[in-house]
Protein backbone atom coordinates (compact mmCIF):
# COMPACT_ATOMS: atom_id res chain seq x y z
CA UNK A 1 0.00 0.00 0.00
CA UNK A 2 1.27 3.48 -0.83
CA UNK A 3 0.23 6.98 -1.82
CA UNK A 4 0.58 8.05 -5.43
CA UNK A 5 -0.31 11.15 -7.40
CA UNK A 6 -3.39 10.44 -9.50
CA UNK A 7 -1.37 10.93 -12.71
CA UNK A 8 0.74 7.89 -11.75
CA UNK A 9 -2.22 5.53 -11.59
CA UNK A 10 -1.91 2.45 -13.81
CA UNK A 11 -5.08 0.38 -14.16
CA UNK A 12 -3.10 -2.71 -15.15
CA UNK A 13 -0.74 -2.63 -12.19
CA UNK A 14 -2.64 -0.95 -9.36
CA UNK A 15 -5.74 -1.45 -7.26
CA UNK A 16 -7.29 0.97 -4.80
CA UNK A 17 -6.31 0.18 -1.21
CA UNK A 18 -8.65 2.73 0.40
CA UNK A 19 -11.99 4.14 -0.76
CA UNK A 20 -12.39 7.42 -2.65
CA UNK A 21 -15.08 9.81 -1.34
CA UNK A 22 -17.04 12.61 -3.00
CA UNK A 23 -17.79 16.02 -1.45
CA UNK A 24 -20.83 14.56 0.33
CA UNK A 25 -18.55 11.95 1.97
CA UNK A 26 -20.16 9.16 -0.07
CA UNK A 27 -17.93 6.38 -1.38
CA UNK A 28 -17.29 6.96 -5.07
CA UNK A 29 -14.92 4.04 -5.52
CA UNK A 30 -14.46 1.25 -3.01
CA UNK A 31 -11.25 -0.40 -1.87
CA UNK A 32 -9.99 -3.42 -3.83
CA UNK A 33 -11.29 -2.02 -7.10
CA UNK A 34 -9.63 -0.73 -10.24
CA UNK A 35 -10.32 2.72 -11.68
CA UNK A 36 -11.62 2.86 -15.20
CA UNK A 37 -9.54 5.49 -17.08
CA UNK A 38 -12.66 7.54 -17.86
CA UNK A 39 -13.22 8.02 -14.10
CA UNK A 40 -9.73 9.42 -13.53
CA UNK A 41 -10.64 12.67 -15.25
CA UNK A 42 -13.79 12.89 -13.10
CA UNK A 43 -11.69 12.50 -9.95
CA UNK A 44 -9.35 15.25 -11.10
CA UNK A 45 -12.32 17.51 -11.82
CA UNK A 46 -13.58 17.25 -8.24
CA UNK A 47 -10.10 17.97 -6.88
CA UNK A 48 -8.78 14.55 -5.91
CA UNK A 49 -5.05 14.36 -6.61
CA UNK A 50 -3.83 11.55 -4.32
CA UNK A 51 -4.77 7.88 -4.21
CA UNK A 52 -3.87 5.03 -1.85
CA UNK A 53 -3.09 1.98 -3.96
CA UNK A 54 -1.80 -1.57 -3.76
CA UNK A 55 0.73 -2.72 -6.33
CA UNK A 56 3.68 -5.09 -6.61
CA UNK A 57 6.12 -2.46 -5.36
CA UNK A 58 4.15 -1.82 -2.17
CA UNK A 59 3.30 -5.47 -1.46
CA UNK A 60 3.12 -6.11 2.30
CA UNK A 61 3.20 -2.42 3.31
CA UNK A 62 0.20 -1.98 5.62
CA UNK A 63 0.61 1.74 6.39
CA UNK A 64 -0.81 0.95 9.80
CA UNK A 65 0.47 4.36 10.87
CA UNK A 66 -2.35 6.09 8.94
CA UNK A 67 -5.26 7.49 10.89
CA UNK A 68 -8.36 5.32 10.61
CA UNK A 69 -10.10 6.54 7.45
CA UNK A 70 -13.73 6.33 8.68
CA UNK A 71 -12.70 8.24 11.83
CA UNK A 72 -10.92 10.83 9.68
CA UNK A 73 -14.00 11.30 7.50
CA UNK A 74 -16.28 11.54 10.57
CA UNK A 75 -14.17 14.35 12.04
CA UNK A 76 -14.13 16.14 8.67
CA UNK A 77 -17.93 15.97 8.63
CA UNK A 78 -18.15 17.33 12.18
CA UNK A 79 -15.87 20.23 11.27
CA UNK A 80 -17.86 20.96 8.10
CA UNK A 81 -21.05 21.13 10.17
CA UNK A 82 -19.29 23.38 12.70
CA UNK A 83 -18.29 25.86 9.99
CA UNK A 84 -21.86 25.82 8.69
CA UNK A 85 -23.18 26.56 12.20
CA UNK A 86 -20.82 29.52 12.60
CA UNK A 87 -21.69 30.90 9.14
CA UNK A 88 -25.42 30.65 9.77
CA UNK A 89 -25.14 31.86 13.39
CA UNK A 90 -26.59 28.66 14.81
CA UNK A 91 -25.57 27.34 18.26
CA UNK A 92 -21.96 26.20 18.34
CA UNK A 93 -21.93 22.34 18.33
CA UNK A 94 -19.28 22.02 21.06
CA UNK A 95 -20.33 18.53 22.18
CA UNK A 96 -19.89 17.20 18.65
CA UNK A 97 -16.50 18.90 18.34
CA UNK A 98 -15.39 17.51 21.71
CA UNK A 99 -16.47 14.02 20.66
CA UNK A 100 -14.45 14.39 17.44
CA UNK A 101 -11.41 15.49 19.45
CA UNK A 102 -11.85 12.46 21.69
CA UNK A 103 -11.66 10.22 18.61
CA UNK A 104 -8.41 11.85 17.47
CA UNK A 105 -6.84 11.61 20.92
CA UNK A 106 -7.80 7.94 21.10
CA UNK A 107 -6.11 7.39 17.72
CA UNK A 108 -2.85 8.88 19.00
CA UNK A 109 -3.01 6.91 22.25
CA UNK A 110 -3.59 3.56 20.59
CA UNK A 111 -0.46 3.69 18.42
CA UNK A 112 3.05 5.02 18.75
CA UNK A 113 2.68 6.93 15.47
CA UNK A 114 -0.42 8.26 13.71
CA UNK A 115 -0.09 9.95 10.33
CA UNK A 116 -2.78 12.02 8.60
CA UNK A 117 -4.23 11.24 5.19
CA UNK A 118 -3.27 14.03 2.76
CA UNK A 119 -6.02 16.57 2.15
CA UNK A 120 -5.29 16.09 -1.55
CA UNK A 121 -7.16 12.76 -1.23
CA UNK A 122 -10.58 14.40 -0.92
CA UNK A 123 -12.79 16.60 -3.07
CA UNK A 124 -12.08 20.34 -3.23
CA UNK A 125 -15.04 21.26 -1.00
CA UNK A 126 -13.70 19.08 1.84
CA UNK A 127 -10.06 20.14 1.63
CA UNK A 128 -10.25 23.03 4.17
CA UNK A 129 -11.74 20.69 6.77
CA UNK A 130 -9.35 17.83 5.97
CA UNK A 131 -6.47 20.30 6.34
CA UNK A 132 -7.59 21.35 9.83
CA UNK A 133 -8.16 17.75 10.92
CA UNK A 134 -4.64 16.90 9.74
CA UNK A 135 -3.17 19.86 11.63
CA UNK A 136 -4.84 18.55 14.78
CA UNK A 137 -3.51 15.02 14.21
CA UNK A 138 0.04 16.28 13.68
CA UNK A 139 -0.19 18.55 16.73
CA UNK A 140 -1.35 15.67 18.93
CA UNK A 141 1.56 13.58 17.67
CA UNK A 142 4.00 16.37 18.62
CA UNK A 143 2.28 16.94 21.97
CA UNK A 144 2.57 13.26 22.84
CA UNK A 145 6.34 13.60 22.51
CA UNK A 146 6.17 16.61 24.85
CA UNK A 147 4.25 14.51 27.44
CA UNK A 148 1.14 16.71 27.44
CA UNK A 149 -1.57 15.61 29.86
CA UNK A 150 -5.18 14.99 28.82
CA UNK A 151 -6.40 18.53 29.46
CA UNK A 152 -3.48 20.00 27.52
CA UNK A 153 -4.15 17.62 24.61
CA UNK A 154 -7.82 18.61 24.48
CA UNK A 155 -7.12 22.34 24.58
CA UNK A 156 -4.45 21.97 21.90
CA UNK A 157 -6.63 19.78 19.69
CA UNK A 158 -9.61 22.14 19.94
CA UNK A 159 -7.52 25.13 18.93
CA UNK A 160 -5.84 23.27 16.08
CA UNK A 161 -9.06 21.79 14.75
CA UNK A 162 -10.61 25.27 14.76
CA UNK A 163 -7.51 27.30 13.89
CA UNK A 164 -9.10 28.49 10.62
CA UNK A 165 -12.68 28.84 11.89
CA UNK A 166 -12.38 32.60 11.33
CA UNK A 167 -12.60 31.85 7.60
CA UNK A 168 -16.26 30.99 8.22
CA UNK A 169 -16.75 34.64 9.15
CA UNK A 170 -14.40 36.57 6.86
CA UNK A 171 -12.81 36.10 3.45
CA UNK A 172 -9.90 38.38 4.46
CA UNK A 173 -6.96 36.06 5.09
CA UNK A 174 -5.26 38.58 7.37
CA UNK A 175 -8.35 38.91 9.56
CA UNK A 176 -9.27 35.26 10.03
CA UNK A 177 -7.02 34.70 13.10
CA UNK A 178 -8.76 37.44 15.10
CA UNK A 179 -12.20 36.38 13.88
CA UNK A 180 -11.39 32.79 14.85
CA UNK A 181 -10.34 33.97 18.32
CA UNK A 182 -13.68 35.70 18.74
CA UNK A 183 -15.64 32.64 17.61
CA UNK A 184 -13.92 30.33 20.10
CA UNK A 185 -13.84 32.93 22.90
CA UNK A 186 -17.63 33.17 22.77
CA UNK A 187 -17.97 29.43 23.43
CA UNK A 188 -18.24 29.50 27.22
CA UNK A 189 -16.94 25.97 27.85
CA UNK A 190 -13.91 26.35 25.53
CA UNK A 191 -10.50 27.23 26.93
CA UNK A 192 -9.17 30.70 26.18
CA UNK A 193 -5.89 28.95 25.28
CA UNK A 194 -7.68 27.23 22.41
CA UNK A 195 -8.91 30.62 21.21
CA UNK A 196 -5.37 31.99 21.32
CA UNK A 197 -4.19 29.15 19.08
CA UNK A 198 -6.53 30.45 16.38
CA UNK A 199 -5.41 34.03 17.12
CA UNK A 200 -1.66 33.32 17.04
CA UNK A 201 -1.03 30.51 14.55
CA UNK A 202 0.42 32.93 11.96
CA UNK A 203 2.72 34.70 14.43
CA UNK A 204 6.51 34.19 14.66
CA UNK A 205 8.89 34.32 17.60
CA UNK A 206 10.89 37.07 15.88
CA UNK A 207 7.83 39.33 15.82
CA UNK A 208 7.33 39.40 12.05
CA UNK A 209 4.10 37.39 11.99
CA UNK A 210 0.48 38.55 12.04
CA UNK A 211 -2.04 39.78 13.11
CA UNK A 212 -0.34 41.36 16.14
CA UNK A 213 3.38 40.91 15.51
CA UNK A 214 3.96 39.40 18.96
CA UNK A 215 7.37 37.91 19.77
CA UNK A 216 9.22 35.56 22.08
CA UNK A 217 7.31 34.02 24.95
CA UNK A 218 4.16 35.95 24.02
CA UNK A 219 3.83 33.47 21.14
CA UNK A 220 2.19 30.64 23.06
CA UNK A 221 3.63 27.14 22.82
CA UNK A 222 0.30 25.65 21.69
CA UNK A 223 0.03 28.22 18.90
CA UNK A 224 3.62 27.51 17.81
CA UNK A 225 2.82 23.82 17.51
CA UNK A 226 -0.28 24.67 15.48
CA UNK A 227 1.74 27.04 13.29
CA UNK A 228 4.38 24.40 12.53
CA UNK A 229 1.80 21.73 11.77
CA UNK A 230 -0.18 24.18 9.63
CA UNK A 231 2.91 25.03 7.54
CA UNK A 232 3.88 21.39 7.17
CA UNK A 233 0.39 20.24 6.17
CA UNK A 234 0.05 23.02 3.62
CA UNK A 235 3.43 22.18 2.11
CA UNK A 236 2.86 18.43 1.86
CA UNK A 237 -0.82 18.47 0.83
CA UNK A 238 -1.53 21.73 -1.01
CA UNK A 239 1.93 22.31 -2.49
CA UNK A 240 2.97 18.68 -3.04
CA UNK A 241 6.33 19.13 -1.31
CA UNK A 242 7.85 15.81 -0.11
CA UNK A 243 7.82 15.31 3.65
CA UNK A 244 11.59 15.49 4.09
CA UNK A 245 11.78 18.76 2.14
CA UNK A 246 8.93 20.23 4.20
CA UNK A 247 10.71 19.28 7.41
CA UNK A 248 13.96 20.83 6.15
CA UNK A 249 12.11 24.06 5.37
CA UNK A 250 10.64 24.08 8.87
CA UNK A 251 14.03 23.46 10.43
CA UNK A 252 15.35 26.51 8.56
CA UNK A 253 12.86 28.57 10.61
CA UNK A 254 14.35 27.46 13.93
CA UNK A 255 14.73 30.42 16.25
CA UNK A 256 13.11 32.87 13.84
CA UNK A 257 9.58 31.52 13.44
CA UNK A 258 9.47 28.84 16.16
CA UNK A 259 11.37 27.93 19.32
CA UNK A 260 14.19 25.45 18.83
CA UNK A 261 12.88 22.90 21.34
CA UNK A 262 9.43 22.84 19.73
CA UNK A 263 10.89 22.32 16.25
CA UNK A 264 12.98 19.51 17.69
CA UNK A 265 9.81 17.96 19.11
CA UNK A 266 8.21 18.17 15.66
CA UNK A 267 11.19 16.61 13.87
CA UNK A 268 11.32 13.71 16.34
CA UNK A 269 7.56 13.11 16.02
CA UNK A 270 6.93 13.31 12.26
CA UNK A 271 8.76 11.02 9.79
CA UNK A 272 10.72 12.47 6.88
CA UNK A 273 9.96 9.42 4.75
CA UNK A 274 6.46 8.01 5.42
CA UNK A 275 5.75 4.36 4.60
CA UNK A 276 5.27 3.87 0.87
CA UNK A 277 7.87 6.48 -0.10
CA UNK A 278 10.15 5.40 -2.96
CA UNK A 279 13.74 6.49 -2.38
CA UNK A 280 17.22 6.34 -3.86
CA UNK A 281 19.98 5.48 -1.38
CA UNK A 282 23.60 6.60 -1.43
CA UNK A 283 24.65 3.03 -2.27
CA UNK A 284 22.93 3.45 -5.63
CA UNK A 285 20.00 1.17 -4.77
CA UNK A 286 16.32 2.02 -5.12
CA UNK A 287 14.09 1.15 -2.18
CA UNK A 288 10.65 1.70 -0.70
CA UNK A 289 9.98 2.66 2.90
CA UNK A 290 8.01 -0.14 4.57
CA UNK A 291 7.50 1.13 8.12
CA UNK A 292 8.70 3.42 10.89
CA UNK A 293 10.25 1.34 13.66
CA UNK A 294 11.85 3.62 16.24
CA UNK A 295 13.60 6.53 14.54
CA UNK A 296 11.41 9.00 12.63
CA UNK A 297 14.15 9.87 10.16
CA UNK A 298 15.71 6.39 9.77
CA UNK A 299 12.94 4.01 8.65
CA UNK A 300 12.86 0.40 7.49
CA UNK A 301 13.33 0.17 3.72
CA UNK A 302 13.07 -2.66 1.19
CA UNK A 303 15.30 -2.82 -1.86
CA UNK A 304 13.14 -2.88 -4.99
CA UNK A 305 15.46 -5.23 -6.86
CA UNK A 306 16.14 -7.89 -4.21
CA UNK A 307 13.32 -7.26 -1.67
CA UNK A 308 15.94 -7.33 1.10
CA UNK A 309 14.89 -5.19 4.07
CA UNK A 310 17.21 -2.79 5.86
CA UNK A 311 16.61 -0.73 8.99
CA UNK A 312 18.41 2.53 8.32
CA UNK A 313 18.68 3.24 12.05
CA UNK A 314 21.06 0.27 12.26
CA UNK A 315 23.11 1.32 9.21
CA UNK A 316 24.28 4.92 9.78
CA UNK A 317 26.33 5.05 6.56
CA UNK A 318 23.32 4.31 4.33
CA UNK A 319 21.52 7.54 3.49
CA UNK A 320 18.50 8.59 1.48
CA UNK A 321 19.72 10.85 -1.31
CA UNK A 322 16.47 11.37 -3.23
CA UNK A 323 12.77 10.60 -3.17
CA UNK A 324 11.33 9.21 -6.38
Is a pLDDT exceeding 90 seen at residue 294?
no
Distance (Å) of CA 324 to CA 2, 4, 107, 235: 13, 11, 30, 17
Residue 10 CB contacts under 8 Å (≥ 6 apart), including other chains: 55
Q: What is the pLDDT of residue 99?
A: 98
Q: CB-based contacts of 195: which residues, under 8 Å, 6+ apart?
A: 159, 180, 181, 182, 184, 185
Residue 95 has phi, psi (to 5 degrees) of: -60, -40
pLDDT in tens, 153-189: 999 999 999 999 999 999 999 999 999 999 999 999 9
pLDDT tens-digit readout, 182-229: 999 999 999 999 999 999 999 999 999 999 999 999 999 999 999 999
What's the whole-number average pLDDT of the chain? 96
Task: Check whether the bond before 211 is cis (ω within 30° of 0).
Answer: yes
Span 37-62, pLDDT tens digits: 889 999 999 999 999 999 999 999 99
SS3 172: coil
Write the DSSP assignment of 192-256 as a string of letters: HHHHHHHHHTT--TTS--SSS---GGGS-HHHHHHHHHHHHHIIIIIS---HHHHHHHHHTTBTT
The residue-averaged pLDDT of 91-118 equals 95
| Residue % of the chain over a pLDDT of 90 | 95
pLDDT of residue 228: 98
Mean pLDDT, rounded, for 106-112: 91
Q: What is the pLDDT of residue 96?
A: 98
Looking at residue 117, what is its pLDDT?
95
Confidence of residue 274 (pLDDT cuts 50, 70, 90): very high
Rounded mean pLDDT, 1-27? 93
Using CA atoms, how far apart are residues 277 and 285, in angstroms rounded to an integer?
Answer: 14
The torsion angles phi and psi of 152, rounded to 5 degrees, stand at -65, -40
- High-pLDDT (> 70) share of the chain, %: 100
Does residue 126 have a pLDDT over 90?
A: yes
Amino acid sequence: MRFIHITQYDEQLMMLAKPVYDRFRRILLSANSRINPKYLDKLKEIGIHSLIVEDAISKGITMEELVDMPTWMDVIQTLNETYDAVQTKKPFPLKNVQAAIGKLILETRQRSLVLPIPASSVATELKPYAHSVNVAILALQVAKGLNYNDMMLRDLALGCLLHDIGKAVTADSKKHPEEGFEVIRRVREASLLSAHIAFQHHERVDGTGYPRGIAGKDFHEYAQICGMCNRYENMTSAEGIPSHDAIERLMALSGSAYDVHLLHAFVTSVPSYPPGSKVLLNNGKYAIVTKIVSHMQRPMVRYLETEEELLLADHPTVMVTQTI
